[in-house]
Amino acid sequence: MFRLQENQTSIKTEVLAGITTFFTMVYIVVVNPVILSDAGVPFNQVFTATIIASVVGTLWMALFANYPIAIAPGMGLNAYFTYSVVGAHQGISYQTAFAAVFVAGLIFVILSLTPLREKLIEAIPENLKYGITAGIGLFIAFISLRLTKIIVADPSNLVKLGNLHEKSVVLTIVGLAITLILMSFRVNGALFFGMIVTGIIAFFTGQIHFKEGFVALPSLPEGLMIANPFTALTDVVHYSLYAVVFSFILVTIFDTTGTMVGVANQAGLMKGDKLPRARHALLSDSIATAVGAMFGTSPTTAFIESTSGVAAGGRTGLTSLTVAALFILSAFFGPLVSAVSGISAITAPALIIVGSLMMGSIAKIRWNELDEAFPAFLTILSMPLTSSISTGIALGFISYPLLKTARGKWREVHLLVWVFAVLFFIQLAFLQG
């Protein structure tokens, strides 16, 4: 089924690769509920939904695409859901926001069944892609610094350095140092093991308590978030969430596909410039996004941490199948994860480091070309300063064609970019608030 001999691998190698991938990305079952709980979603709901979405997407990738790529709710997309959709729109509850995620997932499924998704990816300027990735990374890191009080509000200058003697600040700095040291020694699962060590320190310093034990059956306190697809569509229309749906689609579309291509290329699975079984692979995150929204989590994406499994020898879907099995097992450790998530200093180091890794895309921006560099810069700068990922994307897409036109390069702008620019301009000018 997995064509192990054809891919020059073995069951042992694939299983070990799956274990490696799982430990490098399992932090998401802690971090995702932490971020979405800021939107008011019950912790246990998000914890279980995160695992369901991860299992569905990763199993699809394993059984139908036969790739060693894991799927889970994406970093950045969860922050956008919490702070830019629910947090920035009065009257929009997290239940309504999940309707937008569900509709985006349905559109993803349709796009993944056609060549249109690949054409959309080609239409988005490379430098804007890099800018969006870097901006989200900066935004995630900023949120983490704020939640742990390393950065605090300042009436005269908006933000300033917090009290470095506070327990949460000290624990965050220690956890960050430990995790960075583990990463420096190339320890697989450094982010996860860094959280474990930080959690142990928090326990012995009296900052964390395990009142409900460690193990329990998984639960969904609020049941299905989306029980009726037609109600979800109605909510999107009623609250005019078109820009929200569009932003979910835009961010996820190139994030997932770029990751898939990168991981497949590292594993030597590309055939020239094409990804075999691309349609099945692209369906994995779109189906998982729709399913995840039904249970209560933000959009899913292919995880770049899958490269750690590839480095360990993973070449087939058996690696992904192992990851899915381990996610199922992790569902029974909800009380442990819940206790850990209550201390932001335990999860913050992982978020800060993820943010720094996402910032690496800045190096690929063509800074010597103003019409390419400034829209990317505007995108990066505005995301943390406006606390809105969608605003950063909007400003980037509006400024890009305008600068190109001013420099006489309007022919270089794809028609779809003009469409995006007009839609985002309408959103900022008439649909804000």
Q: What angle do CA 130, 136, 139 make, to 5 degrees?
A: 140
pLDDT for 119 beyond 90: no
Take residue 131 and report the two structure tokens written for it: 């800018």
pLDDT for 413 beyond 80: yes
Q: Quick: pLDDT tens for 18-63.
A: 887 888 788 889 889 989 998 999 989 999 999 999 999 999 999 9
| pLDDT at site 406 | 93
Instruction: Give Cα 381 to chain centroid, integer Å.
Output: 19
Q: How far apart are CA 47 and CA 45, in angstroms?
A: 6
State the distance between the two ends of the chain, measured CA to CA, in whole angstroms. 52
Of the candidates 366, 362, 367, 372, which has an alpha carbon nearest to the alpha carbon of residue 403? 372
Take residue 33 and report the two structure tokens written for it: 């509920």
pLDDT for 255 beyond 80: no
Q: How far apart are CA 276 and CA 264, in angstroms?
A: 10
| pLDDT at site 304 | 73
Q: Provide, rounded to the nearest whole percent, the portion of the chain with pLDDT above 90.
A: 35
| pLDDT at site 322 | 95
45 neighbors 220 (Cβ within 8 angstroms): yes
H or E element, residue 307: helix 306-311
Question: C-alpha distances in angstroms, 360 versus 27, 210, 258, 376?
Answer: 20, 37, 15, 13
Take residue 390 and report the two structure tokens written for it: 């969608």
Q: Provide, rounded to the nearest whole percent, the portion of the chain with pLDDT above 70.
A: 94
Q: Quick: pLDDT tens for 60-111.
A: 999 999 999 999 998 778 888 888 788 766 678 899 999 999 999 999 898 8
| pLDDT at site 62 | 95
More confident residue, 133 or 96: 96
H or E element, residue 184: helix 167-184
Residue 154, φ and ψ in degrees, nearest 5: -135, 125
Report pTM: 0.75
Q: Quick: pLDDT tens for 320-362.
A: 999 999 999 999 988 888 777 678 888 788 878 888 888 888 9
| pLDDT at site 305 | 77
